[in-house]
């Protein structure tokens, strides 16, 4: 496929395969699919529309993302806003059947007032901080807080959850979080507060900590076909056959031969050490290809790795194709994904760029067209002209 100056191919068959693989792993537990951050760069509306019949709920970060999900035609699937919402967004929660997360009492009271005004009940989830150190009610205050919330009119406690900061790096700490969380649940049960969903496990915990599965899991990265880094380092209790959903491709737009000692790109960070054939590909950090891959990255061309040489610029990047003599203008190069039996995975790029795989896929710019494929055929193309 060859589309535009740079494009991302989104394989919906791979997405459905990954959901089935994770379902096989978790049994009859519910599955919340994290589609925040524009579905990790894959396209929130398209991913939601392709998967809502296969999952039990979606997780987003904002009311706006929840509205986008509804506008994709996802009308009945529960949508949980995992981050605190502003009070001025409360009417939108009711009008669009979005489930808020409660982390402080004033928001809960305003929510209850709106429920009374509308004569409606609204389901809520409460976040408990067992060690994330971010949002949520401190675990030693949670029993009293949750008891208060359950007494507010129009509020139905639908779920209680916690977040893991290190489910792929500090297994013992994470297991202690699970014990603390379960202790709270036992205390709530003793007070007659029950009937809600318990959830905690992200992708890493799904793989590494079976006791964290509880009633529902919240994977994101795995469903996009990317394993947490810990999986590659041996911390795992599950084997899944996942397929990357996104590939990132560009093309050769310029091809020149330079003598040894020629500087390439901004800041003269690279000098040729031999007569070199340098190709320019039409992708840069403005498209989300990390500047930190300067003189580190590579792409796939004719089954070989062509190294990035010189600084990655906003719109263009240079690669050395001296050892790939068949390279020509217009050739497609693969920066992420598979081609000719070789693969560059998000974890691989993340290690080179000194970042995390989440950022590699989330940072792919809206100006990069998304080509959605199903059964080997293009089913939708999203560009800047029809992004919304």
Confidence (pTM): 0.94
* pLDDT confidence of residue 4: 84
pLDDT in tens, 121-148: 999 999 999 999 999 999 999 999 999 9
36: annotated active-site residue: yes
Q: 21: Cβ–Cβ under 8 A, 6 or more apart, which residues?
A: 240, 241, 242
The residue annotated as part of the active site, out of 52, 231, 235, 266, is 266
pLDDT digits (tens, 9 = 90+) for 194-232: 999 999 999 999 998 999 999 999 999 999 999 987 665
Distance from C-alpha of 225 to C-alpha of 178, rounded to nearest angstrom: 26
User: What's the pLDDT at 384?
Assistant: 86
One fold for 12-223 and 246-355: no
Q: What's the rounded Cα separation, in Å, for the pair 231 and 243? A: 15
Residue 337's alpha-carbon distances to 2, 225, 289, in angstroms, are 15, 11, 13
CATH class of 12-223: alpha beta
* Three-state secondary structure of 84-148: CCCHHHHHHHHHCCEECEECCHHHHHHHHHHHHHHCCCEEEEEEEECCCCCCCEEHHHHHHHHHH
CA dihedral 74, 34, 221, 19 (to 10 degrees): -50
CB atoms within 10 A of CB 360: 27
Q: What is the pLDDT of residue 77?
A: 97
Pick the catalytic residue: 16, 36, 358, 372? 36
pLDDT of residue 240: 85
Residue 1, pLDDT score = 58
Please tell me the CATH superfamily of domain 246-355, with its number. Answer: Lyase, Ornithine Decarboxylase; Chain A, domain 1 (2.40.37.10)
Kindly list the domain boundaries of the chain, sorted by start residue: 12-223, 246-355
Closest CA to 178 of 147, 207, 146, 213: 213
Q: Please list the pLDDT of the chain residue by residue as tens digits (388 residues).
A: 567 899 999 999 999 999 999 999 999 999 999 999 999 999 999 999 999 999 999 999 999 999 999 999 999 999 999 999 999 999 999 999 999 999 999 999 999 999 999 999 999 999 999 999 999 999 999 999 999 999 999 999 999 999 999 998 899 999 999 999 999 999 999 999 999 999 999 999 999 899 999 999 999 999 999 998 766 544 555 578 899 999 999 999 999 999 999 999 999 999 999 999 999 999 999 999 999 999 999 999 999 999 999 999 999 999 999 999 999 999 999 999 999 989 999 999 999 999 999 999 999 999 999 999 999 999 999 998 876 5
């Amino acid at each position: 496929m060859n589309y535009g100056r740079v494009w991302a191919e989104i394989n919906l068959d791979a997405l459905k395969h990954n959901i089935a693989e994770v379902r096989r792993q978790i049994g009859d537990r519910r599955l919340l699919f994290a589609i925040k951050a524009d579905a990790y760069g894959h396209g929130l509306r398209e991913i939601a529309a392709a998967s809502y019949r296969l999952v039990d709920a979606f997780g987003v970060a904002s009311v706006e993302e929840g509205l986008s999900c509804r506008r994709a035609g996802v009308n009945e699937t529960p949508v949980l806003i995992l981050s605190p919402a502003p009070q001025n967004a409360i009417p939108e929660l009711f009008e669009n059947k979005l489930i808020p997360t409660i982390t402080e009492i004033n928001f809960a009271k305003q929510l209850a007032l709106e429920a009374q005004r509308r004569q409606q009940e609204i389901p809520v989830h409460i976040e408990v901080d067992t060690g994330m150190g971010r949002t949520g009610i401190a675990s030693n205050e949670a029993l009293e807080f949750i008891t208060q919330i359950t007494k507010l009119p129009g509020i139905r406690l639908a779920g209680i959850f916690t977040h893991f900061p290190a489910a792929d790096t500090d297994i013992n700490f994470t297991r202690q979080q699970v014990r603390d969380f379960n202790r709270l649940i036992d205390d709530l049960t003793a007070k007659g507060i029950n009937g809600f969903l318990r959830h905690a496990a992200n992708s890493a915990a799904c793989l590494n900590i079976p006791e964290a599965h509880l009633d529902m899991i919240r994977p994101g990265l795995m469903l996009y076909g990317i394993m947490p880094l810990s999986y590659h380092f041996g911390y795992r209790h599950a084997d899944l056959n996942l397929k990357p959903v996104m590939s990132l491709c560009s093309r050769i737009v310029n091809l020149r031969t330079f003598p040894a000692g020629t500087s390439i790109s901004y800041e003269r960070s690279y000098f040729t050490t031999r007569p070199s054939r340098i190709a320019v590909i039409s992708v840069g950090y403005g498209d989300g290809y990390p500047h930190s891959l300067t003189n580190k990255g590579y792409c796939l061309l004719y089954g070989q790795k062509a190294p990035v040489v010189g600084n990655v610029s906003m719109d263009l990047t240079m690669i050395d194709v001296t050892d790939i003599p068949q390279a020509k203008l217009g050739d497609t190069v693969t920066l992420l994904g598979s081609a000719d039996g070789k693969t560059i995975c998000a974890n691989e790029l993340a290690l080179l760029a000194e970042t995390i795989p989440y950022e590699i896929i989330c940072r792919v710019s809206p100006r990069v067209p998304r080509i959605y494929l199903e059964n080997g055929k293009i089913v939708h193309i999203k560009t800047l002209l029809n992004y919304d």
